[in-house]
């Protein structure tokens, strides 16, 4: 399968992953990130994905993948130590969010997580109008969404502090329609559509 350029947020994650790292990518989707890391950074490791069709995409890319539920599947990796554990835009769909973050920090020397920012101004506008947000980034209606938990940037950073996880780097981004991102610094709690974090256990 031909290697295509990475989506902007995945490119930022890839930039944070060291050369030759042993990587665990949870909710790895079609394997695009792992495929790129294997080819360009000589990384190796595993992906975990629950969707059967996406698992097939991973296999076609020659990505090592295990079909697993993130909430239940991390025990499969007990005894392994990864340089980096990644969870990209999937934390909001987990049921045991605190447990998942703690398990990721146990399995990896470093953890990278990206989350949609529910505090974005367009979401606030929808709520003020009396409706849950539905847009390109959150395309589901409230009654059929796979997402269980929504957080603002400040909510998520507070949770990491409560769990004793130290943020080592972060990027606040506005996603573009073409798949790119723009990194911002001013008023990220209202302007960022996506936040990316690197953290480690204390």
Domain residue limits, the chain: 8-201
pLDDT (0 to 100) of residue 43: 97
Q: Which of 109, 101, 112, 108 is nearest to 12 (CA)?
A: 112
Q: How far apart are CA 196 and CA 188, in angstroms?
A: 12
Mean pLDDT, contiguous 10-residue spans, the chain (202 residues): 77 96 95 96 94 94 91 78 93 89 92 94 89 77 76 95 94 89 94 94 66
- Model-level pTM? 0.90
In this predicted structure, what is the pLDDT of residue 52?
Answer: 93
Which pLDDT value is given to residue 73?
67
As a whole number of angstroms, the distance between CA 191 and CA 172 comes to: 9
**Which CATH code is given to the segment(s) 8-201?**
3.40.50.150
């Amino acid at each position: 399968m031909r290697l295509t350029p990475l989506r902007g947020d995945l490119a930022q994650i890839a930039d944070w992953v060291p050369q030759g790292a042993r990587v665990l990518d949870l909710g790895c989707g079609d394997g695009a990130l792992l495929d790129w890391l294997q080819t360009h950074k000589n990384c190796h490791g595993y992906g975990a994905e629950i969707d059967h069709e996406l698992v097939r995409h991973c296999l076609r890319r020659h990505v090592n993948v295990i079909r697993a539920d993130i909430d239940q599947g991390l025990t499969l990796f007990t005894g392994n130590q990864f340089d980096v554990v990644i969870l990209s835009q999937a934390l909001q769909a987990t049921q045991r969010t605190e447990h998942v973050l703690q398990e990721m920090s146990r399995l990896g020397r470093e953890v990278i997580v990206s989350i949609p920012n529910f505090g974005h101004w367009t979401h606030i506008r929808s709520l003020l109008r009396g409706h849950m947000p539905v847009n390109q980034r959150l395309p589901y209606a409230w009654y059929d969404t796979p997402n269980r938990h929504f957080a603002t940037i400040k909510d998520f950073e507070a949770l990491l502090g409560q769990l004793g996880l130290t943020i080592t780097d972060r990027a606040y981004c506005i996603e573009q329609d073409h798949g790119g991102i723009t990194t911002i610094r001013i008023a990220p709690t209202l302007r960022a559509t996506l936040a990316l974090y690197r953290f480690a256990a204390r």
